[in-house]
A and B are shown apart, each in its own frame.
Chain A
Amino acid sequence: MISSKKAKIRVPNRLSLPGQNFETLWDILKDAIDHIYADQVGELSFELLYRTVYTLVLRRKASELYGHLKSYLGDKLDELGQKSLKGVKGFELLQKLFEIWKSQCHYFKLISDVMIYMDKVYCKYERKVETYDMGLESFKNHIINPIKGHIDEAMLSDINKVRSQGSSEAPQADTWRGIIAMMETLEDEKDNYFSAHFEPVLLQETENYYKNAVNYEELSPVEYLETMKKLKSYEFSLDQKFINVDSTVKVTTVLEKVLIWTEQFMDAVPVLMRDALTNNNVELLRELCSLSSEEKYCTKILGCIKGCIWEDVTSLTVDKNSRKRAQIASQWTNRIIGIYNYYQSLLSTVDLNFFTFEGQDNSSLNVIHEVIGNYLKEDAVQTCEFIALHLDMYAKSTEDKRDINNVKESLEDCVKLFKLISEKDLFENFYKKLMSKRLLHQRSSIKLEKWLVKQIKSEMGNFFTSKLDGMLRDISSSTGLSHFFKPQENTLPNCIFTSQILTMTSWPFQTANILDENVILPPQMHHYKEQFEVFYNRKYNDRTLRWAHHLGFMEIGFQFKNGYYEISMPIYGAIIFLLFEQHEELTAEQILDLTNMPEQELQRQLISLSLAPKSRILKKKPLSKTISPQDTFSINYGFTSPTQKVRLQTIANVTTKSEAQSQVGQDSLEKERVIEVNAAIVRIIKSCKKTDLPSPNLPSKRA
């Protein structure tokens, strides 16, 4: 193959123009540029010019050509700048500059079309900017840079002039936009000239302008807000006329900085917010929230909202000394719920989700929860007690089935509070106690109780309701059991016996008093007791049945002189009352012997039977306020009552029983907590053991 080299055809010469050195060829192009600048394009021959460029590039003169072209363009532009722009200022400068820019772009385009072969072959491979862009660069260096300051000044003073007139029409805006477009077209290092140079200047100037535009200190908060809104929307509409969206956003940010981040406004915000929230002013609230989307501002707004809610809830007063604790509790709870609902509906009108930062959920609901939750935490014992009491009141007052749905509706709101309660075990404790009483005394509808427990379960979790569930289970299984228990007909025909079998662990009572075992029951009752024990043992062979008389109660019908009354009373009371079936009159001492009751209990019962104003079914001699062993008792046949059914209230124990009881509750709660904590520690230690580490890091884990 190599040997045949001589026979090969020579590659044809490139198709360039013959002869002529660089200078002559360059002169042709220079002349063409002169013509272009003189708007005499029609006289030029593209064919000739293209061939000239082509020839120069082929002769590897491209870099020389490029250099010449650049410096010649530079000269042209210098001359032009000297001629047209020197000494011109203000808006006239902008107009002239814009004119020159437009015509130069046109010229650059023509020149680059002539230089197309160089662009394609030389610039692309040598990584030089193409002719057109080179022209733009020269334009920046030779026209813009010498009068940079003048242009900025002219633009800014012109813009400020329009701002100060506040007119919505800006006839100059077209020229501004042209100049801005020019700046955006011109390259600067990395970025375009506009964002690298003019934008910062514009932002700075905007800041200065608005700082001094209005005497803000004279304005009231509401006026300030109005002014701010006006300025913002004005500036926004003005910006849209001549700068792009991104820059508009930047200007808006600057404006916010000037207008919002002043001490004055920062002071005004809480006032305005208070106003908006107190007067249910949705408009104002929305405005405040939409003023800025900056994190700092949003945090501020959120803080204000939280502050207002806090103020509202802490202003609730509780009369701790009042006797009607349940009523106060209910009032208090209702008011908390009221505040909750008020804020919920008000804040749902603004989209606080907008303020979500770093994964923190700032929805309106969360804000309310946070604040109210904090408030509820302040006095956790009172909170739990009050809410439990509130529920208790509702539960007790509804025995009618029709009411249940209404009550459910009104309790729905209360349910919302459940999840805000931080010391859930405390609440459970209170609730359990009240619930057990309701259940035993059949003071509420089982359906409602079940519903309530379900709500608590869904808000607090299974852990806290296992005992409540147990109680409900006991009640329903007892009903079944009573149903099956059919004592022999001959015992006592007109007596109805209802058993309530309570699982010891579920109920908040201390172990049944051992003394109960020793109480001597009236024969009928004793009969029942034995029969039931037999029945129960047959059914559940290995279960221990222990009687808790102090929890039971009994209803006795009796014909007094003035009418027949059905009196319900505690078992102990009934035992005493039934003694008078056989005895006309008994002394306290005798009663004690006959019943074998604990003395203290006897005293309590006797006081409530004979001294309590509404339920005096026993007469006492002598009529004193205390019970002494020698006092005699007999049935008070003159007893009257407005209703046929009478509930006999056992008076509170001589000691302040409720306090003692709650004290006991607290103690047991403490114990339970200690147990839980211990269990948690053990679990952690166990897991640590696997890695054979002692537990120096335990405290940190607990934290």
Chain B
Amino acid sequence: MAAGLPRRIIKETQRLMAEPVPGISAVPDESNARYFHVVVAGPEGSPFQGGVFKLELFLPEEYPMSAPKVRFMTKIYHPNIDKLGRICLDILKDKWSPALQIRTVLLSIQALLSAPNPDDPLANDVAELWKVNESEAIRIAREWTRTYAMGN
């Protein structure tokens, strides 16, 4: 059976509870301490402002040697997030370092919402529109935010 929860995960969880990241809440699942229910508020000034986005974050067995697995549960119109909610973020892939934490990951995701990067796309159609007609892309993103990320 899996060994007890590593000290590091316990500490990270405690600290996330004690000093939460502004605009982000991350609560461990009652039955699985490695699974977090995350809610990120759409950053101000971004097309996602006003939206509340649900994510799931899972700490694999090898964490912190391998990156947490994070996915958007709420639909979002963003060039770096695909239909399935998968996120294109370097620190979740090859740029992961064990010195990073849940907190830093969530901050990076928040920053990604503020600054979409259509040059490194995951959702090609979204990225294309973002490059060709940014105002239209932002309009759709706002609409999606209203439709999927508000009032639920």
A binds B: no
Residues on B close to A: CB < 8 A?
none
Interface residues of A (CB under 8 A from B): none
